[in-house]
Amino acid sequence: MRITVIGTGYVGLVSGVCFAELGNRVICVDKMEAKIDQLNRGEVPIYEPGLQPLISANREAGRLSFTTDLRASVEASELVIIAVGTPSLPNGQANLSYIEQAAAEIGQAMNGYKIIVTKSTVPVGTNERIRDMIRQHTEEVFDIASVPEFLREGTAVSDTLNPDRVVIGTDSARAAECLVELHSRLTDHLIVTDIRSAEMIKYASNAFLATKISFINEIANICEKVGADVTKVAYGMGFDKRIGSSFLKAGIGYGGSCFPKDTQALIQIAGQMDYDFKLLKSVVDVNREQRYNVIRKLEGLLGNLAGTTIGIWGLAFKPETDDVRDAPAFEIIAELHKRGAQVQAYDPVAADNFRKEYGSDGIVYCSTAREAAWQADALCILTEWKEFQELEPLEVEGWLKSPYLIDGRNIYEEEQLSGTNIVYYSVGRPGMNSGLKEPAPLLSL
């Protein structure tokens, strides 16, 4: 099948490459010339494990190409996939301007029957709007489908080639048949449904996962007060098949380009229909608060932070990506600066992207983990890169001015800390080298 993918962000690039890998001829289009030039030089604009070799192999096999010429590629394709961004507007609603522009351009390039698939995360009703917009520009027959994307950054290639399920929302039997055939080699779990339900499945899935994270973070906060260990609690909960063990890692809250924006968008979607989505609003509030626990713990140890130097390990919103969109590191570092602290930060791949957004005022960007920890008054771990987990706490202690470690991602085990003088505050594990060996007395019943 000949496929055009519009947008070469994570979703467009990874799904385009994976469809090429399945034997289709794929043209990836982006309006950013610099990105397309980079891809045509064989460079990959994002850090995503496994992507580079897959792109090279499929380009060499003649199945994958990159262009800025949307019209020519749509004309040459039977299937057109929209994978442009849908960022948040200031009020939390999804900004659909890229979607609208892409739909208009597709409409102008129509030269025969095509299926127009939207992979971008869009509010309920948007695919129907896309159909109307294309219709304004063409008399050609076409069908639309919502096929939301569920990949995670850092594991995007394997998520796309081995998805838990593929959701196909369409009102056309012809489009359904074609899309079932296209995805049938990826999974047996093909869910063919109506367009609006498909659009909602995506938001509901992200909102549910965000809810799991805020839930376990609140449990972690209570664990710190009652002397329980949230990792053991999550382990014990996870064996219940109705709960499941994933997305129960307590930490500094979720970040990234999707959970923060999609939770806000769903609150707005509900609000527009006069529905107050109270639960999701709390999930968002809990998430925002969770980031500040790092600051509270630092202040608990150091008192006034003015004039202190704080080491930061990790700027990306999660490991194995250089994406810093909505990374908790932004707010945490900004709070440190507000309190007069200096920051020395290290991330294995995301520092350049962070610097572009945040600037360099009050931050020294370091080229090693050791440099970021060197002579710091305290060290905070904000991303659980494997590289940090492999460092010996005893060695890290020797780099620090004071042996204070605030671990926002629970990367160390108790045994790794024994024999060190590190005062270690993690998330929801109060007993670990924190000096809080005895939990506070429980309220009597």
Ligand X SMILES: NC(=O)C1=CN([C@@H]2O[C@H](COP(=O)(O)OP(=O)(O)OC[C@H]3O[C@@H](n4cnc5c(N)ncnc54)[C@H](O)[C@@H]3O)[C@@H](O)[C@H]2O)C=CC1
Q: Per rule CB under 6 A, is residue 150 in the interface with ligand UGA?
A: yes
| Residue of 101, 138, 197, 342 interacting with ligand X (CB under 6 A) | 101
Residue 249 is a binding residue for ligand UGA (CB under 6 A): yes
CB of 372 to ligand UGA, least distance (A): 19
CB 433, CB 423: distance < 8 Å: yes
Q: Which of 130, 179, 213, 312 binds ligand UGA (CB under 6 A)?
A: 213
Determine whether 258 is an active site residue. Answer: yes
Give the ranges where 163-320 is alpha helix by DSSP (H). Answer: 173-183, 195-226, 230-238, 259-272, 278-302
Label residue 432 exposed, middle or buried (CB < 10 Å: 0-12, 13-18, 19+): buried
Report if residue 149 touches ligand UGA, rule: CB under 6 A.
yes
- Candidates 19, 277, 317, 399; binder of ligand UGA (CB under 6 A) is 317
Cα(125)–Cα(332) distance, integer angstroms: 37
Distances (CA, A) of 121 to 25, 118, 233, 266: 24, 8, 33, 11
Q: How far is the CB of 428 from ligand UGA (least distance, A)?
A: 12
Burial-class residue 41 by CB neighbours within 10 Å (0-12, 13-18, 19+).
Answer: exposed
Rule CB under 6 A: say whether 404 interacts with ligand UGA.
Answer: no
Interface with ligand X, residue 47, by CB under 6 A: no
Would you count residue 151 as binding ligand UGA (CB under 6 A)? Answer: yes
User: Phi and psi dihedrals of 2, rounded to 5?
Assistant: -95, 125
Q: Taking the complex as a whole, how short is the minimal distance between the CB of residue 437 and ligand X, in angstroms? A: 41
Site string for ligand X, 104-143 (x = CB under 6 A): -x--------------xx----------------------
Q: Which is nearer to ligand UGA, 12 or 256 (CB)?
A: 256
Nearest distance, CB of residue 41 and ligand UGA, angstroms: 26
The burial of 164, by beta-carbon neighbours within 10 Å (0-12 exposed, 13-18 middle, 19 or more buried), is given as: exposed
Closest CA to 426 of 235, 251, 287: 251
CB of 35 to ligand X, least distance (A): 6
Q: Is the dihedral of CA 164, 169, 172, 178 positive or negative?
A: negative
Give the separation between CA 398 and CA 379, rounded to whole angstroms. Answer: 12
Residue 93, binding choice from ligand X, ligand UGA, none, Cβ under 5 to 8 Å by partner class: none
Closest approach, Cβ 100 to ligand X, in A, equals 9
Name the packing angle between helices 278-302 and 259-272 (round to 10°): 140
Question: Catalytic one among 18, 28, 223, 258?
Answer: 258
Q: Which of 29, 96, 252, 345 binds ligand X (CB under 6 A)?
A: 29
Rounded CA gap, 377 and 403, in Å? 8
- Of 26, 82, 182, 209, the one binding ligand UGA (CB under 6 A) is 209
Instruction: At 272, list the tokens.
Output: 């527009």
Q: Which does 35 bind (CB under 5 to 8 A by kind): ligand UGA, ligand X, none?
A: ligand X
Stretch 7-26 residues interacting with ligand X (CB under 6 A): 7-12
Binding residues (CB under 6 A) for ligand X: these are 6-12, 29-32, 35, 70, 83-86, 98, 101-102, 105, 120-121, 149, 151, 153, 257-258
Q: Show which residues are catalytic.
A: 258
